[in-house]
Amino acid sequence: MYRDLNKVWLIGRLGQDPVLRSTRSGKKVANFSLATSRKTKAQDGTEGRETSWHRIVVWGLEAERCQSRLKKGHSVMVQGEVRPRSYKDEQGVEHQVTEIHSDDVYLIDRPSLVRNPDESPGDAPVTEVSAAS
């Protein structure tokens, strides 16, 4: 039997501190940008990096935890689903955006936790930032 699946995992760095707001009904929602990068090689052999930016949306208690524990530059793993959305700006122009609505956000490192200069930030301990923590 075929089943659809809309699930994504991203590992990247926060481009900004999470912003926490409340909906009209009082539900908490946090938003932040996440950068993922990959190495590239041009036809002439020069190497570079290509960065993609993702809009992350987190709801409820998880949103509050993200806002209080995550900061710009932190490395995180985000698990969620892809959701397209459209909205009109103040001038009435319609915009299409793609967001990742996250179920779980895991803090992979905090740059300040790395004490040994020879140690990469990825060697820092993994700390979960989810409802289970």
For 8-129, the fitting CATH number among 3.40.50.1860, 1.10.238.10, 3.30.70.980, 2.40.50.140 is 2.40.50.140
Q: How confident is the model over 31-73, as pLDDT tens digits? A: 999 999 999 988 998 999 999 999 999 999 999 999 999 999 9
Segments making up each domain of the chain, as ranges: 8-129
Neighbours of 62 (CB within 10 A): 19
- SS3 of residue 110 by DSSP: coil
Q: How confident is the model over 77-87, as pLDDT tens digits? A: 999 999 999 99
Give the DSSP H or E segment for 55.
Answer: strand 47-59
pLDDT category at 117 given cuts 50, 70, 90 is very low
124 vs 114: CA distance, rounded Å: 6
**pLDDT value of residue 112:** 52
Indicate if the pLDDT at residue 9 is higher than 50.
yes
Asked if 133 contacts 126 with a C-beta cutoff of 8 angstroms, the reply is no
